Structure 1
Amino acid sequence: MSRQGENIYHRKDGRWEGRYIKGRKLDGSIRYGYVYRNTREETKRVLDVFKTSYQPAVPKPSSTISLTFKEWALVWLRRIELRVKRTTFSNYHYKLNKYILPIFKHKKLYEINEESIYLYIEELQNNHLSMSSIQSIFTLFKQVLSSGLSRIKCDATFLTLIKLPRRDWSRVTSLSLSEQKRLSLAASQEPAKKGLPVLIALHTGMRIGEIAALEWCDIDFEKNIIQVSKTCQRILNQKKTPAKTYIHIDGAKTKNSIRVIPMTPFLREKLKQYRQDGELARWVFTNNDGPCEPRLLTNYFHKIRKKVGLTHIHFHQLRHTFATRCLEALSDIPTVSALLGHKSTQLTLDVYSDVLMDQRLQTIEKVATYIS
């Protein structure tokens, strides 16, 4: 039992607990501190030391303290707009408005804590988003919140303690060799503008945005190489104009995405023939004197794959198919990683672990044959 005004209590576990005012939160509510000792006398002695040595500061009124997440997010977007690529800015703008602001827009920055963040992560999972998407959204959220808390001089170290669920790499699906041959034959029979993008993906592993951004100056027929340094995307228009989106050519996805890919003899001949038959244009695939956007190339692809009865596949699987064929040919990991433009060989190992397992089985079978 405690004496009035002392704030000392005898706990059920036998210890004595002393409570003192440690400070105040940004909303003005009291923040308590606690001491624990085995006797009342010792607890009171330590508690008196804390009470006399600690002078709780009353926070000064500040307009920044009441900042909501949305108010700060808009400031943050304006600050980074000129420092990042347009495609990156458009991506940030979209994710904030689609996934983050609907939950946190009215929350004061200092009110957001670990519990509310873990509930948010759980909600993202319940919306059936992949772990890679959740990771991307959370990274952006943490970046905005951390800078906002720093702005109002509030501790943000708790953000480093929040751990996302482990990201399991999903099994990549690629075409079998027979499916690839069927698709390649059908693409070869189409007009080059429609079929050639499919062949380029199968023979180089290039992303669809990289294929759409290809210029003839990127293809060196003498050296037999393709230089990949750009990407083409349709992005949201932030300006108040009738067009909601527009085509934008930007630098490669990452510095590792800038790469040189040798051409197979088959692809080289297809491109040379297309070059000879076509007009002298800047872009390899054109539409209305500009680059042919990825969405149109995707439509061409789906029409071709339907003709050969390939269902439930998307254009990006052609990139996986290229990587799989390289690994089946026993190419070394660093080479495949460089051809794909991966940031590390570990990423290649993670994504294509199943294909590599087949390689390991083949190796063991060869060893067994050799030593038997």
Structure 2
Amino acid sequence: MGNITSNDIQKLINKMSKSLSYSSVKKIIELLRPCFKHAVLVGVIHKNPCDAVILPRQNSMAVKTKKIDILTDKEVSVIKDITNDVICKKSRKHKHAPVFVLILNTGLRCEEVLALEFSDIDFDKKVLHVSKSVSIIKNRDENDVKIKLK
């Protein structure tokens, strides 16, 4: 660890900025910086080499950050209206509409909502406990070739 210099890290960041988005490169720095900070605190190294590393400008990155589409107030209102219709009329046409309202009102990620169980809801205290999420795991062999499940 003591052999890693600011130049080494800067070269890594510059290389990664050619194939990754700004947020991904920033996460690399955010991961490395506290590791080296801890090494300084415990006396393994004398200074944090990340302190001299400069993150490339966002507009100079090869991969551009994706634009996030946000629902308009009218779109949110439509979803809430559909949910009210589902609840009042016991309609099954849009049976998942209440889930969208839950997401809109809580900011939960889809993976978190999919992992919810009835035991996560405290109806008396009106509290929802989010402690897990689901993920899709791709089955691949050692050559990174997708394996079909039967």
Q: TM-score range by the shorter chain?
A: 0.5 to 0.7
TM-score (norm 2): 0.55
The residue that corresponds to 1:332 in the other structure is none
Q: Report 1:19-58 matches (<5 A).
A: none
Counterparts of 1:209 and 1:172 in 2: how far apart (Å)? 18
Give yes or no for the alignment of 1:124 onto 2:26: no
Letter in 2 for 1:211: V
Structure 2 unaligned regions, length at least 5: 60-65, 87-92, 141-150
Mapped contact 1:220–1:226 kept (Cα < 8 A): yes
* Cα 1:128/1:208, change in 2 over 3 Å: same
Size of the alignment, in residue pairs?
125
Letter in 2 for 1:207: R
Task: Give the SS at the match of 1:231.
Answer: coil
Counterparts of 2:44 and 2:107 in 1: how far apart (Å)? 47
Counterparts of 2:30 and 2:6 in 1: how far apart (Å)? 15
Runs of 4+ in 1 over 6 A off after TM superposition: 146-152
Counterparts of 1:198 and 1:122 in 2: how far apart (Å)? 40
The residue that corresponds to 1:226 in the other structure is 127
The residue that corresponds to 2:109 in the other structure is 207
Give yes or no for the alignment of 1:175 onto 2:71: yes
TM-score (norm 1): 0.27
RMSD: 4.1
Task: Give the SS at the match of 1:121.
Answer: helix
* Cα 1:111/1:122, change in 2 over 3 Å: same
Letter in 2 for 1:191: K
Moved more, 146-155 or 121-130: 146-155
Residue-by-residue CA offset, 1:133-189 (whole Å, 9 max, x unaligned)? 222222223455666799995544333333435779x98642112222444538953
Higher helix share: 1
Higher strand share: 1
* Cα 1:114/1:229, change in 2 over 3 Å: same
**Bigger CA radius of gyration:** 1
The residue that corresponds to 1:191 in the other structure is 95
Structure 1 unaligned regions, length at least 5: 1-108, 238-242, 245-372
Give yes or no for the alignment of 1:136 onto 2:40: no
* Cα 1:110/1:220, change in 2 over 3 Å: closer
